[in-house]
């Protein structure tokens, strides 16, 4: 018997039957009415449904199965459509018994999808026999019903197989078939009280015997069909055999593996699956190991393979062929003691998981140890191999994640300063070495750094060599800290390790038995979850000629990676995205006098120190080292920004010229190197630097006991991020770039504290609080020639002039028509001259201008009343004019300035009003970040200047209307240059701080020194000396005086009067000459007339001679 036939035989040995009802034969459970009545159809798993599909039946079996299925379907349809027929002898419905039995058989057959072909054959046979027995005539009446049905329904081989199966169910001493069938039929059909008695004729009796025989054979056929269908169901009810493979390091672990599998079967197997352990041991080389995996494990259709690390600690080749071979077919591989980081690379090891973490996972413990002991300066020394690079990458990732959390600190309120003592460390230097590296030179480079905490990641041999070189350079003594992992303190490395070394040891890391139990439990738990899913395929069988991957393998791997097993012998078992163990526990060991003493543990989430006092540090110290050695020589970077930093050239001898402050204090100057802006090419030359920040630097150096060298920033910028070569990568420029690039240790300059910069550097306590303000040019009022007329408007001047002349005319008229103005009051007195129009005009102007009035005063009472009123009017006008003239000429009229950042001229920019700031400065960043100021930023971006000095000069030259910058700088410029003025309220309040790197050991001391300087008044003194000094104060506080420009119009008025007088005198002279000439002509005429008259008197006229007769009255009248 073949294996396939044996499985069919075992499956066909059990037939479950259920009662079908009174008078009916028992129906098999494989033909229940519906899937709802068949519990096995609901609980059967997909892999159980496919169990029979792999055993492909021959054509005769398929034909029998189809007949069986048709039989069940026909019986079911007969039950629903046909009326029941009664046996004449037993008087019971014949069709109901086998109809109910066939109905249950049909339901049970249909519940198992993958075995439907076998069931359908049996159903077809049953259907055919049912139709034959229900006809009541035909084949059953002409020939033997049972023989005809049986011989025509099943092939010859299937007939023999079923006959053997049915005979096996009957007892050996059973009576003949007919007799036993009759008795079974009679016992199965009870009599009822309503039976009718019929006459028993011989023909009828023979017909009844024939019907009973046919019925008996039909019932036997139904039972055989149920037997065949239930054999299929029997195969699905048995637990699924699931093979688990293992590659173990030694033979003694095979029994541990089998015991773990047996225990998993009790917990997880139950009735669904049964785990089977298949194990092999390590082979000498990779080829043999791969062949063993194929022949011994994959050929057995294993669902997963457990693999341990070989006994040799440095040999990692054995897990590799297992991972490669199983990974090709996507069969999950669970490593037990493999620690190499290469197995975390899922592009190489596709299906590899492990219950231990890689060596690079120790970076988490190092990181937490640094935070526990508050060490912020480390030197990372790693070997130039995969393990070293993995440890470096893991540690740098942790540092970046911690730094990202620290970026959430709020710097908008500079008054609040906090120090995060739990901030993670930062590697001051990463040193890689290979077998060809000079370790002495490498460690000398590390010795020159400030950090004294050294983390080492290397193999045993490399670690031993590093320890020897460090001992030679005296780098294992007091002040140093050495943090290492497991490899660096085992074997040969431990013999060379210095005292005080802090190392790690994975708890249960080499306990292969515990890892076998945990791995088996995780796999069993995952298989249980896997079988609850659909479309589960079988693992591949063997490697020869098989290149198809296991389709369910990736799904099974995901289930394994997402599984959690908290009750493991090695602790909580859980995997990360790389398939490595999470929440591993480490012991923290201290190397003391050639012994390893446990001083703490790492519980998977944090470090817990048992007793720090037990730790012996390098050099025999019992106190925790600081972890760094502060350098006393600092590189300071600054920028030219008055009044905080003045830059002047040195003298010919290279020294700085001594100068005094306005308060009479000697200015402290330092030599600073930097580009000379006055020389083409901007060469770096020594220069003299002094100012607010230089005095502060000198004070800090004296307080904290360090020396310094100062240099000016090369590009002259404060610092902002800019794209590199139009890429997405950004780098800092200016002072920020030099600090982050290691060219400077500290920024001492008016550097504004903002969030963007605080994410990358550490700021001290602000030494100067300020904000942003606007600088504009002061509008100095210019005096014109008509400035003396400014007190009155032109309309008022016109009315005053008109009033003068109107009053003069009125005085003349009143005095002219008054009876007391034209006549002499007292005849004895000399008569006064009457008031002429010119006299009235002179009187009116004289009263208005407060000049003396000589002659020509009004004589009448009415005219004098008008003159008094006019005098009062003139007094008021003159007094008002004098007061307003002083206000206009002495005091400046306030001009319309910018009100602040919300001024319409700023919010609605135009080309007529230009304002700007400095490129790539904190102010530029502020406007770029604020969405509501985007319109202003677009306008400013086109006009921004390279430096504040250039922008201030542009304002003075009227090239720039407004300059937005730090209030401290602009207020100083306005105090020094009287043509400038700041306007508007402060906005974007911030402060100036000293910038340092995040890992700088000076940051806390610098802030404390600045706070102390604020308290003792030193900062106030610096502010008075450099910022608040006002050169324009003396001018503004002096009494206001009038200048020639203010009174130029008056002088021009006098000059105009003189010119008018000269012009009038010439007119008068010409008029006088003309008048004199006319008078002379008249005199000559009168003289000629007189002569002629005399001549006429001497010679009187005659009538005869025609001479003139003077005695004639007409003649004398003419003469």
| Six-digit token string for 605 | 């989430």
Question: Is 547 among the annotated ligand-binding positions?
Answer: no
CB 23 within 8 A of CB 176: no
SS3 (DSSP) at 131 = helix
First to last CA, the chain: 192
Residues 6+ apart with CB under 8 A from 731: 721, 722, 724, 737
Angle between helices 145-153 and 202-237 (to 10 degrees): 30
DSSP state of 304: E
Segment holding 219, helix H or strand E: helix 202-237
State the DSSP code for 342: G
For tokens 């007329």, the residue is 789
| Residue 1111 structure tokens | 């005695």
Phi first, then psi: give them for residue 722, nearest 5 degrees: -135, 150
Give the torsion through C-alpha atoms of 230, 234, 235, 236, to 10 deg. 100
* CB-CB contact of 313 with 493 (8 Å): no
Which structure tokens are listed for 232? Answer: 């299929």
Would you list the DSSP string of 826-850? -TTSPPPPP--HHHHHHHHHHHHTT
Quote the tokens at residue 843: 């009187």
- The DSSP 8-state label assigned to residue 280 in this structure reads E
**CA nearest 965: which of 644, 658, 714, 646?**
644
On whether 313 is known to bind a ligand per the annotation, the reply is no
Task: Give the strand pairing for 746-752 and 633-638.
Answer: parallel
With 0-12 / 13-18 / 19 or more C-beta atoms within 10 angstroms meaning exposed / middle / buried, residue 941 is: middle
CA dist 342 and 764 (Å) reads: 44
Within its chain, how far is the Cα of 1065 from the centroid? 92
Tokens of 261: 């599998």
For residue 749, the surrounding DSSP H or E stretch is strand 746-752
DSSP letters, 1041-1104, are ---HHHHHHHHHHHHHHHHHHHHHHHHHHHHHHHHHHHHHHHHHHHHHHHHHHHHHHHS---SS
Per the annotation, does 922 bind a ligand?
A: yes
How far apart, in whole angstroms, are the C-alpha atoms of residue 92 and residue 73? Answer: 23
> Is 757 annotated to bind ligand?
yes
For residue 444, what is the enclosing H or E element?
A: helix 439-447
Q: Are 717 and 734 in contact (CB under 8 A)?
A: yes
Contact 23, 93 (CB under 8 A): yes
Residue 288 neighbours by CB under 8 Å, 6+ apart: none
Q: What tokens appear for 482 in the block?
A: 């050495």
Longest dimension (CA), the chain: 225
- Tokens found for residue 42: 């609901």
Q: At what angle do helices 145-153 and 116-135 cross, to 10 degrees?
A: 150
User: What DSSP string runs through 971-982?
Assistant: HHHHHH-TTEEE
Please indicate if the annotation marks 271 as binding a ligand: no
User: What percent of the chain is helix, strand and coil (3-state, nearest 5)?
Assistant: 50, 15, 35
Cα R_g (the chain), whole angstroms: 61
Q: Distance between CA 729 and CA 805 in Å, rounded? A: 85
Please state the length of the chain.
1119
Q: DSSP E strands: which ranges in 399-550?
A: 426-433, 453-457, 481-483, 502-506
Tokens representing 205? 């009796």
Residues of the binding site for L-glutamate: 750, 752, 757, 922, 966
Residues of the binding site: 750, 752, 757, 922, 966
């Amino acid at each position: 018997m073949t294996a396939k036939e044996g499985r069919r035989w075992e499956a066909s040995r059990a037939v479950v039957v259920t009662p079908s009802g009174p008078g009916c034969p028992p129906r098999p459970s494989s033909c229940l009415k519906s899937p709802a009545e068949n519990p096995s159809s609901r609980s059967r798993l997909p892999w159980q449904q496919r169990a029979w599909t792999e055993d492909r039946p021959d054509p005769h079996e398929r034909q029998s199965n189809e007949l069986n299925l048709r039989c069940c379907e026909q019986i079911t349809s007969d039950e629903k459509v046909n009326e029941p027929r009664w046996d004449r002898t037993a008087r019971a419905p014949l069709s109901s018994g086998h109809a109910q039995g066939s109905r249950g058989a049909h339901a049970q057959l249909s519940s198992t999808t993958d075995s439907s072909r076998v069931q359908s054959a049996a159903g077809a046979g049953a259907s055919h026999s049912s139709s034959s027995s229900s006809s009541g005539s035909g084949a059953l009446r002409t020939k033997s019903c049972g023989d005809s049905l049986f011989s025509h329904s099943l092939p010859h081989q299937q007939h023999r197989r079923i006959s053997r199966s049915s005979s096996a169910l009957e007892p050996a001493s059973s009576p003949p078939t007919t007799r036993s069938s009759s008795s079974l039929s009679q016992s199965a059909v009870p009599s009822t009280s309503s039976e009718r008695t019929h006459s028993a004729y011989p023909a009828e009796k023979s017909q009844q015997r024939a019907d009973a025989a046919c019925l008996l054979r039909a019932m036997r056929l139904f039972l055989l069909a149920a037997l065949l269908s239930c054999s299929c169901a029997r195969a699905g009810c048995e637990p699924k055999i699931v093979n688990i493979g293992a590659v173990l390091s030694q033979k003694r672990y095979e029994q541990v593996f089998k015991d773990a599998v047996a225990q998993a079967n009790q917990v997880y197997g139950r009735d669904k699956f049964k785990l089977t352990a298949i194990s092999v041991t390590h082979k000498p080389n990779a080829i043999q190991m791969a062949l063993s995996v194929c022949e011994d494990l994959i050929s057995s259709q294993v669902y997963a393979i457990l693999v341990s690390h070989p006994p040799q600690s440095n040999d990692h080749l054995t897990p590799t062929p297992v991972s490669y071979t199983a990974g090709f077919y996507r069969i999950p591989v669970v490593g037990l003691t493999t620690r190499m980081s290469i197995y975390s690379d899922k592009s190489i090891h596709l299906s590899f998981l492990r219950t231990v973490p890689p060596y690079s996972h120790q970076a988490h413990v190092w990181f937490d140890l640094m935070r526990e002991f508050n060490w912020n300066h480390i030197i990372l020394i790693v070997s130039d191999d995969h393990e070293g690079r993995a440890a470096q990458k893991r540690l740098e990732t942790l540092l970046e994640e911690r730094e990202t959390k620290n970026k959430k600190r709020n710097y908008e309120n500079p008054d609040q300063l906090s120090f995060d003592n739990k901030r993670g460390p930062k590697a001051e230097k990463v040193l890689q070495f290979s077998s060809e590296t000079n370790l002495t030179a490498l460690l000398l480079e590390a010795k020159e750094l400030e950090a004294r905490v050294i983390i080492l990641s290397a193999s045993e041999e490399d670690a031993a060599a590093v320890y020897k070189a460090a001992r030679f350079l005296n780098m294992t003594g007091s002040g140093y800290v050495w943090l290492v992992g497991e490899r660096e303190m085992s074997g040969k490395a431990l013999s060379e390790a210095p005292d005080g070394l802090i190392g790690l040891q994975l708890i249960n890391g080499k306990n292969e038995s515990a890892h076998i139990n945990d791995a088996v439990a995780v796999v069993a738990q995952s298989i249980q979850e896997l079988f609850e899913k659909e479309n589960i395929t079988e693992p591949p069988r063997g490697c020869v000629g098989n290149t198809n991957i296991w389709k369910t393998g990736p799904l099974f791997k995901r289930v394994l990676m997402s599984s959690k097993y908290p009750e493991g012998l090695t602790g909580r078992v859980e995997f990360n995205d790389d398939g490595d163990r999470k929440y591993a526990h480490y012991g923290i060991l201290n190397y003391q006098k050639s012994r390893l003493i446990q001083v703490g543990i790492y519980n998977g989430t944090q470090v817990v120190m048992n007793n720090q006092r037990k730790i012996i540090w390098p050099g025999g110290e019992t106190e925790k080292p600081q972890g760094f050695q502060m350098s006393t020589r600092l590189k300071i970077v600054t920028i030219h920004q008055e009044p905080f930093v003045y830059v002047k050239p040195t003298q010919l001898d290279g020294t700085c010229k001594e100068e005094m402050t306005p308060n009479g204090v000697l200015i402290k100057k330092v030599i600073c190197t930097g580009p000379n802006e006055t020389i083409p090419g901007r060469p770096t030359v020594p220069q003299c630097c002094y100012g607010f920040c230089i005095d502060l630097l000198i004070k800090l150096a004296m307080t904290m006991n360090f020396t310094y060298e100062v240099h000016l920033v090369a590009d002259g910028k404060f610092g902002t991020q800019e794209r590199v070569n139009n890429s997405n990568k950004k780098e800092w420029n200016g002072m920020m770039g030099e600090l982050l690039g290691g060219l400077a240790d500290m920024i001492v300059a008016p550097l504004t504290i903002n969030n963007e910069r605080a994410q990358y550097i550490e700021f001290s306590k602000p030494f100067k609080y300020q904000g942003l303000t606007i600088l504009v040019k002061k509008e100095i009022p210019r005096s014109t020639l008509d400035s003396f007329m400014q007190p009155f408007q032109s309309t008022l001047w016109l009315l005053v002039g008109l009033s003068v002349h109107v009053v003069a005319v009125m005085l003349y008229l009143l005095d002219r028509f008054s009876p007391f103005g034209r006549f002499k009051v007292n005849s004895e007195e000399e008569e006064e001259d009457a008031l002429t129009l010119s006299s009235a005009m002179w009187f009116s102007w004289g009263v208005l201008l407060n000049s003396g009035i000589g002659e020509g005063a009004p004589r009448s009472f009415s005219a004098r009343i008008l003159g008094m009123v006019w005098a009062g009017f003139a007094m008021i006008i003159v007094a008002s004019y004098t007061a307003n003239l002083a206000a206009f000429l002495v005091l400046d009229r306030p001009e319309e300035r910018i009100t602040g950042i919300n001024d319409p001229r700023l919010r609605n920019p135009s080309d007529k009003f230009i304002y700007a700031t400095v490129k790539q400065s904190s102010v530029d960043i502020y406007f770029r970040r604020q969405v509501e100021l985007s319109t202003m930023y677009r306008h400013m971006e086109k006009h921004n200047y390279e430096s504040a000095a250039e922008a201030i000069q542009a304002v003075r030259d009227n090239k720039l209307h407004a300059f937005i910058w730090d209030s401290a700088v602009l207020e100083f410029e306005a105090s020094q240059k009287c043509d400038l003025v700041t306007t508007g309220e402060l906005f974007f309040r911030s402060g100036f701080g000293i910038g340092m790197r995040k890992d700088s050991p000076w940051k806390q001391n610098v802030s404390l020194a600045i706070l102390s300087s604020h308290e003792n008044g030193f900062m106030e003194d610096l502010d008075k000396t450099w910022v608040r000094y006002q050169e324009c104060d003396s001018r503004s506080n002096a009494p206001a005086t009038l200048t020639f420009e203010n009174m130029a119009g008056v002088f021009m008025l006098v000059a105009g009067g003189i010119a008018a007088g000269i012009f009038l005198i010439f007119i008068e002279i010409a008029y006088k000459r003309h008048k004199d000439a006319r008078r002379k002509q008249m005199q000559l005429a009168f003289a000629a007339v007189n002569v002629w008259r005399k001549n006429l008197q001497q010679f009187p006229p005659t009538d005869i001679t025609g001479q003139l007769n003077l005695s004639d009255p007409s003649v004398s009248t003419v003469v």
